C-alpha cells in the first residue's frame, strides 16, 4: 500500500502542477479516497468497516483545484 500511495502522490502533484513540498496533502487526499472506495475482498469500504460516515462524492474537489476560503466572523 505504501508504494501505491507514493505513486498516487506523485501523480496528483504532477497532474495539478504543484510543488513536491505538498506531498503530505497529496498522500492524505489519496488515503481518504482509497479508504472510501468499495473493496471486493471485504465487500465494503474501509471507512464503512471502521463505522465512519460515508463520503459524499458530490463534495469532493479535484486535488489541487484553486478554491476560495470564506471565514465567517
Query: Poorest-confidence range of 23-27, 30-34, 36-40?
Result: 36-40
70 in a structural domain: no
Q: Would you list the DSSP string of the chain?
A: -HHHHHHHHHHHHHHHT--GGGHHHHHHHHHHHHHHS-BTTTTB-HHHHTTPPP--GGGPPPTT---------
65 in a structural domain: no
- For 38, the domain range is 2-59
What's the full length of the chain, in residues? 73
28 in a structural domain: yes
37 in a structural domain: yes
User: Tens of pLDDT along 10-28?
Assistant: 999 999 999 999 999 999 9
72 in a structural domain: no
Structural domains of the chain, count: 1
Question: What average pLDDT does this structure show over 32-59?
Answer: 82
CB 24 within 8 A of CB 8: no
Amino acid at each position: 500500500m505504501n508504494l501505491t500511495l507514493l505513486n498516487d502522490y506523485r501523480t496528483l502533484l504532477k497532474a495539478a502542477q504543484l510543488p513536491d513540498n505538498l506531498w503530505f496533502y497529496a498522500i492524505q487526499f489519496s488515503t481518504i479516497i482509497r479508504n472510501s472506495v468499495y473493496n471486493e475482498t471485504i465487500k465494503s469500504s474501509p471507512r464503512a468497516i471502521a463505522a465512519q460516515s460515508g463520503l459524499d462524492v458530490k463534495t469532493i474537489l479535484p486535488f489541487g483545484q484553486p478554491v476560495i476560503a470564506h471565514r465567517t466572523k
